């Protein structure tokens, strides 16, 4: 007879799921905003699993229908895999849709992680996903925009919360390549036109930036981009962006820092 | 240890096959046993440029499929007995090339040859990826124009992420720039990018600049790699490329349009 371990195995792994914090119950606005986000980083968002966070909605006593939200998300190609901060009634709605719920007791690895932990038998600390470490700690404040995805909850089972790590890239980032850093991103080489670098935190490019750079991609509005030679196709912080067409001549080919102020991207030469 | 060189570009028609033929001949002429493989299934023309098209019996795909041995398929070059050509199939479809099959053939070649030059097809699809997968060194052939430079950059990205060396986390593929079809007059008039512009974008080690030269077409019509033409600037430039690749330090030439100076000096023709 087969022993149980040859039939199946439980492993605890760490993986990373964006949290979608809803600040409005306006389905049309949610859908439109999400479509915009997706069009900015289609590969990243397409088929992305996510956890729906409705705490803000309930706090503001905004009425909504879980099924409707789930269906909207699925229709635009996202995979909701959890509900956080729902009421009893909302939770039971979610469970009918086979979506696990998190009672929302605490802010970090909550019931969803518990849910996972029950299955954890063998402990395999090795991260399968290089972006899995350090998902905590970015801007947790819901933004004024309709939606914002914040990666403040790792669906993880074993590893204790680690500080956000900086990703260091020393090779050139060539056209067609994409880099995603769960924390800050430091690039020592050039970033070519047609390349895309993204970070949940800040981006530093100690060389020429010709491609697209998106900082604060999970909604961190205080993220910044620094580069030695700005020739970017697009720069974005927390979803607010400028294309090369709108980057003024005075800051082109200059060392700059880029930050967000009242939803406006400010590009300043670093003297 | 054999070294596998891929000649790649992304964009088509920039001079990969011309370059593959030239450097394979150059390396062989220096006494290194060299094989050059045509990866361009269905569009073979390496054998034409090498002037051995009438001696093709078996091809690369026959060897992969076990229908012929490597020795049966390799064609010894008529000008240099250190050089062998493994032609592509004109008739098969591209899917006949498999990663595993290519790996087997390269491994067998590596036992006997010092250098294995892989002439990549254009594009960034399967054929080009197969040609570069096992590479140790990459000659990135680029014309001085924006689209070619952009495609080369793309190829460099693929080399850095999809080659075997990248996948195994080994020392990365060594990448060299070969700027071909360079016309100083058109650079001066702004029609073409200059060397500096290209280097600015790609920042790669420059192995050589091959000037635009009628002698290239003449050579390929005659089936004699242009590197054997000592009167051709392109031929001389390719000789420099091989020497630099083998570690010699040679100054770059044919960059400026010093009217007549180099031409007089080398008796070259344009
Ligand atoms: N330095 C040069 N001067 C003038 N003509 C050149 C030069 N190099 C290449 N050519 C010409 O450009 C054309 C394309 O060259 P070649 O076949 O080597 O390119 P390729 O990159 O292999 O093309 P493909 O992508 O179709 O395989 C040929 O007609 C060739 O004679
Ligand atoms: Mg060719």
Nearest-CA distance B136 → chain A (Å)? 17
Report d(CA B250, CA B117) in Å as an integer. 22
The minimum CA-CA distance between A175 and chain B, rounded to whole Å, is: 5
* A225-230 and A196-199 beta bridge pairing: unpaired
Give, as residue ranges, everything with CB less than 5 Å from ion ligand 2. Answer: B 16-17
Domains and CATH numbers, chain A: 19-102 (3.30.70.260), 167-269 (2.160.20.70)
Report, as an integer, the average pLDDT of B61-88: 95
Residue B30 CA to ligand 2 center (angstroms) comes to 24
Q: Does A239 score more than 50 pLDDT?
A: yes
Q: Whose CA is nearest to atom 3 of ligand 1?
A: B212
Q: Report residue A78: phi and psi, to 5°.
A: -100, 155
* pLDDT for residue A71: 85
Residue of chain B whose Cα is closest to the Cα of A171: B160
Average pLDDT, chain A: 75
ipTM for the predicted complex comes to 0.80
Only one residue has tokens 């100076």, namely B261
Measured CA to CA, the distance from residue B205 to residue B240 in angstroms comes to: 14
Count Cβ atoms below 10 Å from residue B257 Cβ, excluding itself: 15
Mean pLDDT for A230-255 is: 94
C-alpha of residue B46 to centroid of ligand 1, in Å: 11
Write down the pLDDT at residue A268. 95
DSSP-derived secondary structure letter, B6 = E
Span B106-113, average pLDDT: 97
Residues B98-109, mean pLDDT to the nearest whole number: 96
pLDDT, position A142: 30
Fold exhibited by the domain B3-256? Rossmann fold (3.40.50)
**Residue range A127-162, pLDDT digits in tens:** 233 332 233 333 333 332 333 333 333 344 444 555
What is the best residue among B9, B17, B122 to mutate for testing ligand 1's pocket, by most ligand atoms within 8 Å of CB? B17
* Cβ contacts from A onto B, under 8 A: 36
Residue whose entry in the numeric block shows the structure tokens 């067998």:
B108
Q: Which residue has the higher pLDDT, B269 or B159?
A: B159
Element housing B23 (H / E): helix B16-29
pLDDT in tens, A180-232: 999 999 999 999 999 999 999 999 999 999 999 999 999 999 999 999 999 99
SS3 assignment for B106-151: HHHHHCCCCEEEEECCCCCCHHHHHHHHCCCEEEEEECCCHHHHHH
- From A84-98, A237-251, B192-206, the region with the lowest mean pLDDT: A84-98
Q: Is the pLDDT of residue B100 over 60?
A: yes
* Residues B16-29: tens digit of each pLDDT: 999 999 999 999 99
A235 three-state secondary structure: strand
The confidence score (pLDDT) of residue A147 equals 31
Q: What is the mean predicted confidence (pLDDT) over B116-133?
A: 94
Residue B106: pLDDT over 60:
yes
Contacts of A189 (CB under 8 A, 6+ apart): A169, A170, A171, A172, A173, A207, B203
- The CA-atom distances, in angstroms, between A223 and each of A138, A231, B32, B209 are 9, 20, 55, 43
Rounded CA-CA distance A30/B154 in Å is: 36
- Rounded CA-CA distance A254/A205 in Å is 12
pLDDT score, position A44? 63
What is the rounded distance in angstroms from the CA atom of residue B90 to the CA atom of residue A57? 65
Question: At A76, is the secondary structure helix, strand, or coil?
Answer: coil
Asked whether the beta carbons of residue A193 and residue B153 sit closer than 8 angstroms, the reply is yes
Q: Looking at chain B, how many residues does it have?
A: 270
């Amino acid at each position: 007879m087969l022993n149980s371990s040859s039939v199946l195995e439980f492993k605890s792994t760490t993986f990373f799921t964006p949290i979608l914090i809803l600040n409005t119950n306006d389905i049309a606005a949610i859908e439109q905003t999400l479509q915009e986000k997706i069009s900015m980083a289609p590969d990243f968002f397409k088929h992305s699993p996510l956890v729906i966070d409705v705490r803000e909605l309930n706090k503001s006593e905004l009425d909504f229908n879980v099924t409707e939200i789930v269906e909207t998300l699925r229709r635009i190609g996202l995979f909701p895999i959890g509900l956080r901060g729902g009421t009893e009634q909302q939770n039971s709605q979610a469970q009918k849709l086979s979506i696990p719920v998190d009672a929302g007791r605490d802010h970090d690895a909550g019931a969803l992680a518990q849910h996972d932990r029950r299955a954890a038998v063998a402990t395999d600390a090795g991260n399968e996903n290089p972006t899995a470490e350090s998902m905590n700690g970015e801007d947790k404040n819901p933004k004024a925009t309709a939606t914002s995805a914040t990666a403040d909850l790792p669906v993880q089972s074993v590893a204790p919360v680690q500080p956000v790590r900086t990703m260091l890239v020393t090779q050139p980032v060539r056209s067609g390549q994409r880099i995603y850093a769960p924390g800050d991103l430091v690039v020592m080489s050039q970033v070519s036109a047609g390349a895309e670098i993204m970070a949940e935190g800040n981006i530093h490019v100690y060389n020429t930036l010709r491609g697209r750079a998106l900082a604060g991609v999970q909604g961190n509005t205080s993220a910044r981009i620094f580069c030695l030679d700005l020739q970017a196709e697009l720069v974005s912080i927390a979803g607010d962006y400028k294309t090369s067409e709108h980057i003024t001549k005075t800051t082109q080919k200059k060392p700059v820092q880029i930050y967000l102020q009242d939803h406006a991207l400010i590009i300043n030469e670093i003297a | 240890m054999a070294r596998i060189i891929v000649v790649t570009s992304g964009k088509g028609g920039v001079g990969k096959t011309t370059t593959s033929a030239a450097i394979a001949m150059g390396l062989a002429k220096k006494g290194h046993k060299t094989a050059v493989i045509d990866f361009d299934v269905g569009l073979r023309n390496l054998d034409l440029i090498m002037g051995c098209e009438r001696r093709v019996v078996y091809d690369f795909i026959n060897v992969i499929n076990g229908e012929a041995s490597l020795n049966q398929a390799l064609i010894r070059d008529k000008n240099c007995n250190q050089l062998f050509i493994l032609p592509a199939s004109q008739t098969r479809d591209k899917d006949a090339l498999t990663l595993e099959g290519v790996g087997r053939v390269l491994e067998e070649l590596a036992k006997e040859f010092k250098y294995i030059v892989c002439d990549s097809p254009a594009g960034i699809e399967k054929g080009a990826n197969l040609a570069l997968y096992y590479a140790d060194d990459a000659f990135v052939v680029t014309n001085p124009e924006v689209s070619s430079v952009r495609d080369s950059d793309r190829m460099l990205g693929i080399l850095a992420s999809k080659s075997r060396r990248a996948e195994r986390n080994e020392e990365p593929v060594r990448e060299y720039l070969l700027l071909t079809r360079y016309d100083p007059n058109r650079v001066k008039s702004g029609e073409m990018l200059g060397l500096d512009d290209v280097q600015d974008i790609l920042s790669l080690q420059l192995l050589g600049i091959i000037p635009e030269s009628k002698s290239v077409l003449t050579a390929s019509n005659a089936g004699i790699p242009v590197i054997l033409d000592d009167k051709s600037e392109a031929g001389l430039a390719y000789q420099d490329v091989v020497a630099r690749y083998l570690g010699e330090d040679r100054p770059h030439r044919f960059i400026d349009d010093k009217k007549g100076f180099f031409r007089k000096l080398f008796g070259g023709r344009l």
